[in-house]
Chains A and B, each alone.
Chain A
Amino acid sequence: MSENTVIELKKLTKRYGYGDTESFALKDFNLTIKRGEFIMIMGPSGCGKTTLLNIIGLLDRDSSGEYVLNGEDVASISSKRQARLRAKKIGFIFQNFNLIEDLPILENVALPLVYTGYTKTARLKNASNALKRFHLQEREYYFPYQLSGGQQQRVAIARAIVGDPEIILADEPTGNLDSRSSHIVMEELKAIHEEGNTIIMVTHNPALTVYATRVINMLDGHIDTDIKTVSDANLPQPINVKIMKKKSKKNRRKK
């Protein structure tokens, strides 16, 4: 495994039901993802795209197979450890934004940092910086319902990148947006990708594949086509200075 590999899936299987009702969302699924890839996963409904994303995002577990994240086998780790990894290494972007309605957007963005041991000041500072990037800084204390769909999705993207994750998972991020907002959101994702972030995105919209470095078509739980538009050598790589990393050493919860 080359050191640029972020994710390696080997013979991944996700089974639902037993006996007569047995069905497979994923069957013997193999995939290797390199750092800096922007992968678009396409395919008809029910082909296992979302299941794949949930398993990669450690929200779901595979039935059998191997999942190596950053060189660590995470297929059978404890759910507590899974939660830790979600907080530190994975950023989620959802179709319906999934912001907490009762919290101002600044605290929504700071949410992943709550569970990784940042002090409150550091949390809000990082969140503020992330929002600034999406030109939402002056609306820090707005609540999600006071923002448009496009703005809410940008808040969600800010939340996904605030913890400086290894991979960003997006499940139809433009699905609920008009074309103008979609365009803005895609441009933001593109900018994030160009800084060397790895993005895996599920979409139904073939027009968006122009942003991708790799397009995977799925069918019935396996890869139908897998096209790379950018060679591995030309993938953007992360510059190591990104978001301010100030953790309070004393209060850090680490084994």
Chain B
Amino acid sequence: MSLLIKTHLKLAKTAIKENRTRSLLTCIGIAIGVASIVLILSLMGSISNLIRNEVNNIGGDLIVVRPNSTKDSITSVIEELTSSNSFQKSNLTISDVSAISKVENVAAVAPIAVSTNTISSEKNTFSSVSVLGTTDDFIAIEPFALKFGSFFKDESEGKTVVLGSTLSLALFNTINSTVGKTITIMGEKFMVIGVLEEIEKSINFDNVDFDNAIIMNINELNEVTGSTQIQQINIKAANTESLPQISADIESAIKDNKLGDENFSVAYGDKITHPASSLFAIISGMLTLVAGISLVVGGIGVMNIMLVSVAERTHEIGIRKAVGASGRNILMQFLFEALILSILGGLLGLMLGYVLAFFISIVTPFAPYISLGILALTFTTTLAIGIVFGIYPAIKAASKNPIDSLKHYR
């Protein structure tokens, strides 16, 4: 058998070389599909990498509770596209936060609730600003420093907010301290008591661009907007050794609090690095769809060219059968040709994808991300495409009648 595989490979090589132009065109068809997949995976990988680095910076003592969204599936991406606000489905509540704070070895608990509001200062008005509701533990968990002022301690201080640095600049047209000034959210006046340092990380595990956000107490946010949806709860553990135990305790604490509802997940360490943004999920979902379609189109190209090849070489098939090739031998010969075509296309696509990823990395913070997983996925995908779209022409070749084939001339 191994002898024949060698022969098949050599025959496929000869056949592809002889029809260089059309083989190249077919490969490009596959390459475009593979390139888009590689590009998506590379981007997603680099986003996860950014978040992983951030989590590592914070320290290994971070635990995150998220409502169970099925953001990974295509249907929920489409659902998110059609619904205006994806946070409305969260089932985490303030009482969950207090339940977690009672768990042993938990040092700090901060919920993250985001709503989008119009805010105004005496000078400017901005719509669609992220207003983040949390507790005073927030600053103990996040690695943020304050540029001016201080973070709020608790709600007794009255209506106070902390501004992101870019937002502070935009609202008051000054880079100087804006502490003590007043902003208006939905008719309510709030006093600025702090401004964050510039963070310049719009991608993070909280899914909030802090440079452009307002942070206030979650209860005040609740009063102003009428409802809050906690999209995430960040927890700082007292020690890093027993993270699995602590997260298990947290899980059971929330479950008790929710009377058995298990629609949430507790993550720590590398598992936090799930790209939190629904926007990325939507974009990558769309890109995957397009990539899938172009891969299918590429596969049809392979099938097309293989059918031409089979028709062109009918006479050869007749000769081979007459001198003793079985149907299986012929099938393998043509299947190998299709496989090599699609694998060559896959390699081309891999390179093309990384070149594109490199160009994207010039204008964005996403560094091209190469992993064994991406390489393996590319290889198996192209292999599968080769088999799926090569098997029909190969079967057609194998089932040709030798006598008729011998009468067939080019």
Binding site for B on A (CB under 8 A): 54, 57, 59-60, 79-80, 83-84, 86-88, 90, 92, 94, 98-100, 102, 111-112, 114-120, 159, 163, 248, 251, 253
Contact = CB atoms under 8 A, between A and B. Distances in A.
Interface stretch (B40-48, B128-136, B326-334): B326-334
B75 interface: no
B75 to A, nearest CB: 47
Given A100-B316, A114-B4, A59 B322 contact: yes
A119 B6 CA distance: 10
Interface of B: 1-4, 6-7, 14, 18, 315-316, 318-329, 402-403, 406
A111 B4 CA distance: 12
Nearest to B321: A83
A83 B329 contact: yes
Q: Which of B7, B18, B402 has the most CB of A within 10 A?
A: B402
B14 A83 contact: no
B2 A116 contact: no
A163 B325 CA distance: 13
Q: Can you list the 6 inter-chain pairs with the closest CB atoms, starting with the nearest? A: A87-B324, A83-B326, A112-B323, A115-B324, A86-B324, A80-B326
17 contacts: A79-B327, A80-B328, A83-B327, A86-B321, A87-B323, A87-B324, A90-B324, A98-B319, A98-B322, A100-B319, A111-B323, A115-B320, A115-B325, A115-B326, A118-B3, A248-B3, A251-B1
B319 A114 contact: no
B20 to A, nearest CB: 14
Contacts of A118: 3
Given A114-B325, A120-B7, A251-B3, 7 more contacts: A60-B403, A83-B327, A102-B14, A112-B323, A115-B325, A115-B326, A251-B1
Nearest to B4: A114
A59 B403 contact: yes
A253 B3 CA distance: 10
B1 A253 contact: yes
Q: Which of B7, B315, B319, B406 has the most CB of A within 10 A?
A: B319
A116 B326 contact: no
Contacts of A54: 403
A79 B326 contact: yes
Contacts of B325: 83, 87, 114-115
Given A102-B14, A114-B7, A120-B3, A159 B324 contact: no
Nearest to A116: B324
B333 to A, nearest CB: 10
Given A54-B403, A59-B403, A100-B316, A86 B322 contact: yes
Given A119-B3, A251-B1, A98 B318 contact: yes
Nearest to A119: B3
Contacts of B3: 117-120, 248, 251
A111 B319 CA distance: 9
A251 B321 CA distance: 21
Contacts of B1: 251, 253
B22 to A, nearest CB: 16
Contact of B324 (A60, A100, A102, A112): A112
B270 to A, nearest CB: 47
Q: Which of B318, B320, B323, B326 has the most CB of A within 10 A?
A: B323
A115 B319 contact: no
B324 to A, nearest CB: 2
A30 B100 CA distance: 95
Contacts of B326: 79-80, 83-84, 115
Contacts of B327: 79-80, 83
A92 B1 CA distance: 25
A75 B325 CA distance: 19
A102 B322 contact: no
Nearest to A98: B319
A152 to B, nearest CB: 13
Nearest to A83: B326
Contacts of A60: 403
Q: Which of B2, B316, B328 has the most CB of A within 10 A?
A: B316
A163 B323 CA distance: 10
A84 B6 CA distance: 19
A59 B324 contact: no
